Amino acid sequence: MARQADGPDEAHRRPAGVSDAAVAALGKLSEALETVERARGHLYSLHQLIGHADLMLDDAVELFRSAGQDEIADRIGRDLIGRNVIAGRWTFQIVEDFDDGYYALFRELDRRARDELAGGRRHLYEAEMKERRRSPGRPGHEARPSPRSRH
C-alpha cells in the first residue's frame, strides 16, 4: 500500500485492462510524435533562417552597388531576393502545410489512440519505466513532485 501512495499520480497510472503490449505501442507512438515535434522545430528554424538570409540579401545588394557591381546586384535582386524556396512556396507556406496536414493528423491519431486505449493518459510507458528504475524512499527518487514544488 505504501508503494501505491508513493507511486505515480492518477494521470500516469495504467487503467485496468490495458495490456503491456498496448502500453508499449502507445509509448512507441508517443516517441515517434516527439521525434516529429523535434523535426517541426527544425522546420521552423529553416523558416526563420531562410527569412533572415533573404533580408540579408538586401544589404549584400546595397554593398555590391556601392562597389560599382550593379550587374551582380541586379542579378541577385531579380533572381534570388523573394524567390520561392520550393515550387510556389515560401517557407511560411511549407510550415503551414506541414502544421495543417501531416502534423495535425499525427497529433490527432496519437490523441485518439490514447483516448481509446488509456483514457487519454499520456506517458504511461515512461511512468512505468520510472517506477521500475527509481529507488523509493531515496532523495531525488520521488515518484512525483511535492505540492510545494508545483508552483
- Tell me if 112 is assigned to some domain: yes
Q: Give the rounded distance of the alpha carbon of 119 from its chain centre.
A: 23
In a domain, 145, yes or no: no
d(CA 88, CA 24): 41
Number of domains in the chain: 1
CA distance 125 to 127: 6
User: How far apart, in whole angstroms, are the C-alpha atoms of residue 130 and residue 8?
Assistant: 9
Joined grid coordinates for residue 38? 523535434
- Supply the pTM of this predicted model: 0.83
Residue 3: band (very low, low, confident or very high) from pLDDT cuts 50, 70, 90: very low
pLDDT-derived band at 67 (thresholds 50, 70, 90) equals very high
| 146 occurs within a structural domain | no
**Separation between Cα atoms, residue 99 and residue 50, nearest integer Å:** 18
Domain annotation covers residue 141: no
Instruction: Note whether residue 138 is domain-resident.
Output: no
Q: Is residue 45 situated within a structural domain? A: yes
The domain in which residue 99 lies consists of 7-133
| Predicted confidence (pLDDT) per residue in 84-143, tens digit | 999 999 999 999 999 999 999 999 999 999 999 999 999 999 999 999 999 998 999 999
